[in-house]
Amino acid sequence: MPCPDLSAPDQSSTDRSSIPEDARDVMSEGDISRALRRIGHEILERNKGSEGLVLLGIPSRGVPLARRLAACIEEVEGAAVPVGELDITLHRDDLRRNPVRTAHRSRIPAGGIDDQVVVLVDDVLYSGRTIRAALDALSELGRPRAVRLAVLVDRGHRELPIRADHVGKNLPTSSAERVHVRVAEVDGLDVVRISGGDAR
């Protein structure tokens, strides 16, 4: 049984690009649900419960994933975990090359993040530059006791010394391949697909 989905559809996403026909499925709806449930348990185990936890999703698909993780944790603990979203647009290091980006508003839970354990949630970990930008954005909002990272997919190819604490699936890829994460709240379905690269 999947964790309950307590989120409304995220209408802020503009990344609705079509997936190439040659793409192959690497995670189904069930796989995603099981991965999030496992990550939720890992977060609770490492934190020794839900006390002091704050989940911050990175737009766009990290936000519904964070909400689902919070629902999984609440299902186990019986207590709600604060969830928010962290805009990283102005902290990206490629703004000069790609200046036109959809800005999202950071929504930090009312209790703030000072002295809390913040878990950043994203769909795919690749070069690490998105997470570096997220850490910069977070530093302007408060001083957490600790910051951890949960991602649905880690595809490798890191360019910065950043590692995820919680990973749904390690997916070795070539740099020529693309990973497509789709979630029901944004795209109407849950699936992870990969395209490009050499046929296998």
Q: What is the CATH number of the domain that holds 165?
A: 3.40.50.2020
Alpha-carbon distance of 113 to 134, in angstroms, equals 14
Residue 19 located in a structural domain: no
> How large is the average pLDDT for residues 57-66?
96
Q: Please count the residues of the chain.
A: 200
Q: What is the pLDDT of residue 103?
A: 65
Q: What is the pLDDT of residue 137?
A: 95
Q: Is the pLDDT of residue 12 over 60?
A: no
User: Which of 65, 113, 106 has its CA nearest to residue 89?
Assistant: 106
Rounded to two decimals, the pTM is 0.87
Residue 126 located in a structural domain: yes
Residue 12 located in a structural domain: no
Residue 10 located in a structural domain: no
- For residue 149, what are the domain limits? 25-196
> How large is the average pLDDT for residues 171-179?
94
90 alpha-carbon distance from chain centroid: 18
Residue 184 located in a structural domain: yes
Q: What is the pLDDT of residue 136?
A: 95
Q: What is the pLDDT of residue 197?
A: 77
Residue 31 located in a structural domain: yes
Number of Cβ within a 10 Å radius of residue 71 = 20
> How large is the average pLDDT for residues 2-24?
56
DSSP state of 89: G
Q: What is the pLDDT of residue 19?
A: 87
Residue 5 located in a structural domain: no
| Average pLDDT score, the chain | 88
What's the structural domain count of the chain? 1
> How large is the average pLDDT for residues 160-181?
96
Residue 74 located in a structural domain: yes
Q: What is the pLDDT of residue 13?
A: 34
Q: What is the pLDDT of residue 90?
A: 87
Alpha-carbon distance of 123 to 193, in angstroms, equals 12
Pick the range with the lowest mean pLDDT from 12-16, 21-25, 56-60.
Answer: 12-16
Q: What is the pLDDT of residue 8?
A: 37
Q: What are the b/e assignments for 18-43, b being 16+ CB within 10 Å?
A: eeeeebeebbeeebbbebbbebbeeb
